[in-house]
Amino acid sequence: MLTETDLRNGLTTKRFGRKIFTFDSIDSTNACAKALAGCWAAEGTVVLAEYQTAGRGRLGRSWHSNPGDNLTFTVILRPSLTPSSVNILPLFTAVAVADAIESYCGVKTDCKWPNDLLVRNRKVAGILLEGSFKQEMVEYVVIGIGLNVNQEQFPPEIAPRATSLRIASGAPVDRPKLFREIMTTIEQQYDRLTVEGYDSIIPRWLARSVIIGKKIEVSQDGTVLGGVVRGIGAEGSLLLDTGEGVRSLVAGDVTILEFEHASRD
Ligand code: BTN
């Protein structure tokens, strides 16, 4: 079981990870972080669990993770953003976590819109953002990160599409050290974002993206829309050229139809 002491040992951040609530088992770290954020927990507060009984994924799915193998945690943010701009934050988080993975484990990590991280075209991490809005502004946002670190076996239904850092690197990964690298990177890049503007994340996300110029299908509320990805809009939307014009999509599930060519060099 990871403890707050293990996780914070040597951590030099000022806000991110200065307070960490750790649990052996919890329903969902996102649910707990929302409750804490509603009680004025500080920005940068983290909730981490070894096991979630009701881990949440995007689009109403659940998130399963082997206890003791991975990192499943949620960070509280209090950004000065309007609700329509929060969709930039999953892109920000994806880039920060990918940078931390590459710098700590040396594993090349790609971003897939909107919230996934891929290693060799397989999902290594998912990000789930939930927020509370008051008077046209964001009151708080919780960013949940499920990162497959040392898990070696996956349930058959996801096994062909899932991977972990251990599988990719061939060696076990020290979870507290990786967690500290993630906290440090998120803090540095978040502070930079507030100076450079939230849009500055887009070119950095694009540099890690595997979908620009690719033929994809986006499923959204039971409908499937096909097209070629032209870019990312200012607030993190996906610009999809359907052949009848470019549509700006804010949510959906992407299937890349040309996946064999879809990795960055
Ligand atoms: C997805 O890919 O669908 C997003 C998965 C997000 C999972 C993480 S695990 C920690 C946090 N707590 C949750 O209940 N979900 C997120």
pLDDT tens track for 135-189: 888 999 999 999 999 999 999 999 999 999 999 999 999 999 999 999 999 999 9
**How many Cα atoms sit within 13 Å of 2 on the Cβ side?**
27
- Name the DSSP letter for residue 162: B
Helix (H, G, I), strand (E, B) or coil at 188: helix
Q: How far apart are CA 114 and CA 220, in angstroms?
A: 13
Q: What is the pLDDT of residue 66?
A: 95
Within 8 A by CB and 6+ apart from 63, the residues are 52, 55, 56, 57, 72, 126, 128, 146
Distance 56 CA to ligand 1 centre (A): 5
Provide the CATH number for the domain formed by 215-256 in this structure: 2.30.30.100
Q: What is the pLDDT of residue 60?
A: 86
Distance 190 CA to ligand 1 centre (A): 20
Q: What is the pLDDT of residue 120?
A: 96
Give pTM, 2 decimals.
Answer: 0.93
Cα torsion 126, 258, 120, 246: sign: negative
Distance 243 CA to ligand 1 centre (A): 34
Locate the ligand 1 atom nearest the alpha carbon of residue 123 and give its number.
2
Q: How far apart are CA 101 and CA 106, in angstroms?
A: 7
Locate the ligand 1 atom nearest the alpha carbon of residue 55 and give its number.
14
Q: Give CATH 2.30.30.100 domain extents, the chain.
A: 215-256
**Is 13 buried (19+), middle (13-18) or exposed (0-12) by CB count in 10 A?**
middle
Q: How far apart are CA 260 and CA 132, in angstroms?
A: 39
pLDDT of 262 higher than 60:
no
What topology is assigned to 4-206 in CATH? BirA Bifunctional Protein; domain 2 (3.30.930)
Q: Give CATH 3.30.930.10 domain extents, the chain.
A: 4-206
Distance 245 CA to ligand 1 centre (A): 33
List the one residue out of 50, 47, 73, 200 whose CA is nearest residue 126: 73
Locate the ligand 1 atom nearest the alpha carbon of residue 57 and give its number.
3
Angle at 254 between CA 249 and CA 256, to 5 degrees: 125
* CA distances for 177 relative to 2, 19, 95, 120, 217, angstroms: 12, 16, 18, 23, 37
pLDDT tens digit string along 204-251? 999 999 889 999 999 988 899 999 999 999 889 999 999 999 999 998
Angle at 235 between CA 229 and CA 236, to 5 degrees: 40
Top mutation candidate among 46, 145, 219 for ligand 1, by most atoms within 8 Å of CB:
145
Beta strands in the chain (DSSP E): 20-26, 46-52, 71-77, 110-112, 116-119, 122-134, 137-147, 215-220, 223-232, 238-241, 246-249, 253-256
Residue nearest to atom 15 of ligand 1 (CA): 56
Locate the ligand 1 atom nearest the alpha carbon of residue 73 and give its number.
10
User: 258 and 252 in contact (C-beta within 8 Å)?
Assistant: no
User: 91 and 111 in contact (C-beta within 8 Å)?
Assistant: yes
User: 179 and 7 in contact (C-beta within 8 Å)?
Assistant: yes
